Amino acid sequence: MGVEQLKSKISEIMWSLPFMGAEWPESWFNARKDIETLKENTLSFLKFQDICNAHGISRNDLIIFSQYLHDLGFIVTGK
């Protein structure tokens, strides 16, 4: 009882969260796909930088991109 209302409320709250519906540059999307295919559980900053460089992500955008991935829970950064 009330499951549909709960689903609706969760969806409403989810879409109001930061980054939901945000469009990423194709280079970010492709870099994330490459990271997902790695077998390792950890990723050094240098390896992350290499992947980003391979996709044409600038140093400034690399920092923003890593923060997005961190905020989304995809990676954990050492800040």
pLDDT of residue 28 exceeding 90: yes
pLDDT of residue 57 exceeding 90: yes
* pLDDT at site 48: 95
Check if the beta carbon of residue 67 is closer than 8 Å to that of residue 75.
no
Strand blocks (E) in the chain? none
| pTM (2 d.p.) | 0.71
Check if the beta carbon of residue 32 is closer than 8 Å to that of residue 54.
no
